[in-house]
Structures are given as C-alpha cells and as structure tokens.
Chains A and B, each alone.
Chain A
C-alpha cells in the first residue's frame, strides 16, 4: 500500500524532532548507568590508586599504580584467581554435560514426559542462598548426609571447593535443561529422519547432526555458566565461610571481604582485575555469538 508523499516531515526517523523525546526516554536508564555503573568504575580506580587507613577519619593518600601492581601480583590475588578458575572448571563442563543428558532423555514423546520436564527444570526456582542451604543438609561436616564421603569433605582444603561447586551444578541444572531442551526442539525432524534413513546410528546422529545444531545454545550456556562461576559468593559464605585455610576463597569473596581484613585499595585493585576478567569473557561471548548469527542459515 503506497502512502501518498506527505508535505510535512515524517514523524518516525526525523533526527531533530526526535532528539528531545529520545533523550528524555533515555534519561532514566542513562542516569542509573552513570551513577551506578560508570561512576563506580571511576571510584574503583580512585580507591586503587590511593591508600586509606582503616581509621577512616584520617585522609587518604595517593600512591599511583603501585598498589594495583602489588595487589594483582600478590599471592592472595593469584589464589583468588585460581579458586575462581577451579570453580569454573568444576561447574561448567559438568553443568553442560548434565544439562544435555537430562534434555536428551526427555526429548521424546512419551506419556507423562511433561512431568519429568517440570521436575528437571525445577531447580531454576532455587536461588544461590537456597541451594547453599540445601547443600548444608548434604555436605556439612557435622550434619550433612554425605559428611563422611572423603571427596566431598568441607574440612579438607583440597576437596572443599569441589563440594561447594556441586551446589552450583545442582542449581544450574534447571537452566541448562531448559535451554538445551529448547535447542533440541529446533532441530528439524526431517534432518533426523533423513539421517536415520541413511543408516546413521543414534550416536552418530547425535554427534554429527544434533550437537552442531545446538552448539550456539551450548556456547551461550557455557558463557552464562562461566559468568555465574565468577559471581560465586553466597554458596561460599554459607557453606564454608571461605575456609578451610582460605581454600574456598574465590576472587569475589576476597573482594567482598566479609571479615574486613583487606584494605579498600587492595579490594579495589582486585575489583579491577575482576573487571578485566569479565570483559574478556564478555568479549569472547560477543565474538563467538556474532559469528554464530550468520551461521546455519
């Protein structure tokens, strides 16, 4: 339908007329972002380049980049980084694997399959704090059901982090299940049928056809799980308080510093480190996803 050309300027797409309204509409969000995202970033740099005595009634003094350098090369920071990295290692592959397993097992037409689907997605209703309390009943050294299982011991510095990470794995089951199942449902029937007719076995069908087609979802999930591992705090505070011997102190835990043992400048330096880490992960996600946008069409 052809609209007659109008003599006056169009309402949509008019740069000058729209500008006022646009800025007005954007203002609330941009104010929030400026005050609570960008200004804090500036403050982080400020705190990291100054030392503030614990006696806050004394003034802060400028120390340049030395504090940042010293903090980011300290054993404390490296151990935090290591623990965060281990947490990712424990939660991401296992989480993806279990999610795929659960999704594949319910991706079929059977009576009552919806019940199983609801059960498997139920952990999405759990928060980190709830998942941690749930795991107290399982791994707490005195009252946990599995307290005597050696590789789940919260009192052993080499196994404590793994035991804590299982609470995240369990909690993430719902999310990974839902996303992988949705992805499975986008795999066209015809492809599967054609492959079956061509003599592809179930396993070959899975690896050659299904997995590549759901790989964008898997990548997306992987990134989400990595980011969520970087944000691990509640489960550590509730299950171990950072112990034993600091074996479960991830980077964020050290930044949050619930016991007040690290100076603000050091914590700000660590925050900048976390910022870089987050940027790297986000960058990886973006570059992978933007490739994928054109893939498979």
Chain B
C-alpha cells in the first residue's frame, strides 16, 4: 500500500524530468527587437510606422480597446472622455478597461506579449515603464505619428518641456497622452497653529520637516499620534534624488540609451534612508508599507497625523471628503461621506519638501502608448482617440476631475483652469502642485529603468526593512544595489533575447 503513493510521484516525475530535459525547443515565435539603443543623439522619426490615414478607408466601425490602471474619479474622467469620443463620431468605438494597479497592468501587458492578439490598442501605463515599452517592440513612438500627422503637432509643440523630456528616450517622444502628477505635502493647519508653526512658511527641506514634527509632538495636541505620515512608496525617494540631480541609473538617467548600471548607492540615498529611519524611531513618522491603499489618508482624516506627503492625484478625493461633497455625482449610487466625522479638519497644501529645497523632483504619473498591432485601421483609430484625448476640453476635465496637472500651455492658459487654480478649494491645492510642475528643471528628468517592477519591489523592501524593521541603512542599501544591478544585468540579457 505504501509504495502506491510514492510510485506515481516518482514515476511521473522521472518521466517528465527526462522528457523536459531531453529537448529544448522554442516556445513562441520570435519578434523584432527594440530599437538600437546605443547612440545618444536624437533618433529620426519613421512616419511610415504610424499609418494615420488608414481610418479613412475603414469600411466598418473599428473596435478600440484601451487599458488603464485608474480608479475612482480619475477612472470616471477617462470613461467620460471615451463616451464623448464615441458620441462624436461613428468610425471608432472605444471601450475602456480598468486593469487594477500599475503593477497588475504591467504584469498583464507582459503576459499578453506572448499572445499579441490579446494586447489592447492603447495602454495607459506608469511612467517608468518607458524602457520596457520601448524594448518590447510592441508600441509605436508618438514621434513617428507626429511626423506622419503634422496637424496633430500643435499639442506637442505646446507640451511642457519637462513633460516631453520625462517621456523621451534618445530625443524621441514615445507616449502620446499623459497623466502627470507631483508629490505634494498636505498639512493640518490647526495642528500647525497649535504647535506655533506658521501655516504660510511651511517646511521646505526634510530637516525642516523634522523640526516641525518635533514641535508638533512637543505641543501634545490631543489625538495626534505621529506628526508625519506617509506611504513607503518608491516614488518619493526617486523624487528627492532627482530633485538634487542625483542620477539613479547611468546613461543620462536612462534617457540617452538603455540604462545598464545602478547609481543608487550614493550619499543622497543614504541621507534619505537615515532621515526616514530616524523619524520613525523617534516616533515622529508613521510609515505604511506600500500597498496602494488609503491608510495614510485615514490618518489625516481622523487627525492622528499632521503632515502627509503623497501625490497630487488624490487632491480631488481628499478635498471632496473634507468638503463633504463626494457624492460621486458623476457616478450613480455612490455613497456620501458625512463631514461631521471630519469636523474641524482644516487642510492646507504646500510644495513637497526636498533634500535641499522644496518643489524639486520629477514628472511622474502615467502616459498612453499606441500599440503596434497588425491592423492599420486600429493604429489609426488609436491615434485618433489620443488626439481627441489631448483636445483642450477633455484635458480640462482630466485636470478638474482626474486631478492630473495640465501638460500643455493651451490647457494651462484655459480660463476654466486658471479660475480653478485661483478660486476653487481643491483647485488651489492643485495649483500648488502646478507651480511645482512649472518650476521643474526640464534638463534633468526622472529615471528610465527597464526592470521596473523588480526595481520598485526592491526599493519597497529596502524601505520597509530600514524604516519598519530597523535594518542598518548602509547594509540594506548595499543589498538593494546589488540586487538592482543584477536585475539590470538580467534585463539586458532578456532584451538581447
């Protein structure tokens, strides 16, 4: 009886082991590799890659699939744009699909590469997927479409240089539409006043944040547990490093060619780790492990914290909760939040503090890529949708509801937007983030990394270990750097095929 159980396991295992090892065999057809990535001069555009005229000869409506990682109001804004597009013409019918978080979207996209018929036609992906998108050979650079469709060029001429450079590699712009946000600092004005801090002279450096936190703690304000709260999200250290022009990878932070070496092991990174660990251990900071959640907002909402560093994209949601206006008007059946629970919550917003100065950092967010499918009509349709998305009315709503920052001067100067930044409670906050965007140095954009998911996973592990687990920063950084470098090496091998 005993043998009976082991027999099948052993027999089956042996057979399959022998069978699998005896042959290699390829699993899928190979496809073209990404563009040559060694020169550092701007590449020429290839208009023929982007058949923008194909839509004219389409005989029946083209079905367009768009993948995105958005939720809440941002998702609603995109869905609204899609509905408007469908209503405005009959040649294309676009359907918009939410694919979870940024990572889940990337994972799904990676897996669909093996079966190109399951790829979407347009995909909104997170900013640092740029290198992966290029190397996948599955998307058409916007530069090619702009060259093929000069009429569309106006939007791109007015594109903020900082945005253009953030999403360019070797001088070529790859994604065609953008959702740009910045990290921002939310403060509880009442707590600041109680601690004797000026609500108009907010902290500008990490050191000043610490001083403010110490004062708040010393003031023993009722209900405040930890003066500062933030999520341990890789985005923040990247912003701080870019803000002091510290490269994260070589090759011009990945913009002059495919990055192959990690530059993460440097004094600024150590400074960041030391600061975070010190704040946490001295009871000044409540750091949350990265989970794409809302815990940090809850901490501000129930006033157990006074300072929050997070993204500008949450501004509309946070404000709506505070103003008791989040009834989700655009969405039927959404619940409303009673603001009595948040009585006395007086939030202000300031430029994000940096290592040396406030308001420094990188353009972050997401961007839309046009997928190089097999049907020319779909490519043309995708480009057409992107153009519609970039039209000023849609972009205005993208800012008003989606909380993304206006990326072209046309939208920046639109009266609705100007008024919004000047007078609307949420708009004033977003206006601060907008100032930050306008103040960025276009010549030093954020990093472009190939093995993006691995890199972020490594950063999160390092941050959680150092901040929550008390690991030694120098050791943790060394380990992270080693792993990151090996991920970069593996990535280079993967691209080589």
Contacts and interface: CB of A to CB of B under 8 A. Distances in A.
Tell whether any CB of A sits under 8 Å from a CB of B in the complex.
yes
Interface of A: 38, 41-42, 45-46, 48-50, 52-62, 64-65, 140-143, 155-158, 240-241, 243-247, 258-261, 263, 279, 282-283, 286-287, 290
Contacts of B12: 38, 41
Contact of A142 (B299, B493, B494): B299
Contacts of B5: 282-283, 286
Nearest to A76: B483
The interface size bin for chain B is 35 or more
Contact of A45 (B16, B113, B116, B288): B16
Contact of B104 (A142, A258, A287): A258
B298 A143 contact: yes
Interface in B59-115: 103-104, 106-107, 110-115
B454 A245 contact: no
A261 B490 CA distance: 12
Contact of A57 (B6, B25, B116): B116
B468 A155 contact: yes
Given A245-B465, A286-B2, A260 B27 contact: no
A60 B107 CA distance: 18
A55 B134 CA distance: 11
Contact of A64 (B21, B110, B111): B21
B360 to A, nearest CB: 28
A290 B2 contact: yes
Contacts of B494: 53-55, 58
Given A45-B20, A55-B113, A60 B137 contact: no
A48 to B, nearest CB: 8
Given A57-B138, A60-B28, A290-B1, A261 B468 contact: no
Contacts of B106: 260
A12 B426 CA distance: 81
Q: Which 9 A-B pairs have the closest CB atoms?
A: A62-B24, A260-B107, A56-B114, A57-B31, A245-B464, A45-B20, A243-B289, A53-B494, A56-B113
A105 B291 CA distance: 42
B19 interface: yes
B1 A261 contact: no
A59 B111 CA distance: 14
Interface in B1-40: 1-2, 5-6, 9, 12-13, 16-17, 19-21, 24-31, 33
24 contacts: A45-B17, A50-B24, A54-B132, A54-B491, A55-B495, A55-B497, A56-B115, A57-B28, A57-B29, A58-B28, A58-B33, A59-B26, A59-B28, A62-B25, A65-B21, A141-B295, A142-B298, A157-B465, A243-B291, A243-B460, A244-B289, A246-B464, A259-B453, A286-B1
A241 B292 CA distance: 10
Contacts of A279: 6, 9
A57 B107 contact: no
A61 B464 CA distance: 36
Nearest to A241: B291
Nearest to A248: B289
A214 B427 CA distance: 69
A59 B497 contact: yes
B135 interface: yes
A42 B27 contact: no
Interface of B: 1-2, 5-6, 9, 12-13, 16-17, 19-21, 24-31, 33, 103-104, 106-107, 110-116, 132, 135-138, 288-291, 295, 298-299, 453-454, 457, 460-461, 464-465, 468-469, 490-491, 493-495, 497
Contacts of A59: 26-30, 497
Nearest to B138: A57
B294 to A, nearest CB: 8
B300 to A, nearest CB: 11
B28 A243 contact: no
Given A56-B28, A57-B28, A155-B289, A261 B453 contact: yes
Contact residues of A: prevailing secondary structure:
loop
B457 A157 contact: no
A183 B305 CA distance: 53
B298 A157 contact: no
Given A41-B16, A59-B28, A245-B464, 8 more contacts: A41-B13, A49-B20, A55-B495, A56-B113, A59-B29, A141-B295, A258-B103, A260-B107
Nearest to A157: B469
Contacts of A38: 12
Given A59-B26, A244-B468, A260-B107, A141 B2 contact: no
Given A55-B113, A57-B116, A243 B290 contact: yes
Nearest to A245: B464
Nearest to A160: B289
B454 A261 contact: yes
A53 B495 CA distance: 7
Nearest to B9: A279
A220 B108 CA distance: 40
A287 B2 contact: yes
A170 B88 CA distance: 55
A38 B115 CA distance: 24
B8 to A, nearest CB: 9
Nearest to B455: A261
B366 to A, nearest CB: 17
A156 B132 CA distance: 34
Contacts of A283: 5-6
Contacts of A158: 469
Contacts of A157: 464-465, 468-469
Contacts of B299: 142
B30 A245 contact: no
A243 B468 CA distance: 11
Nearest to B20: A45
Contacts of B2: 286-287, 290
Given A142-B295, A259-B107, A57 B27 contact: no
A33 to B, nearest CB: 11
Contacts of A286: 1-2, 5
B461 A246 contact: yes
A55 B9 CA distance: 34
B314 to A, nearest CB: 16
Contact of B289 (A58, A143, A240, A260): A240
Contacts of A61: 24
Contacts of A56: 28, 110-115
A48 B460 CA distance: 27
A42 B465 CA distance: 38
B464 A244 contact: yes
Nearest to A258: B104
Most chain-A CB neighbours within 10 Å: which of B33, B289, B291? B289
Contacts of B29: 57, 59
Nearest to A264: B111
Contacts of A246: 461, 464
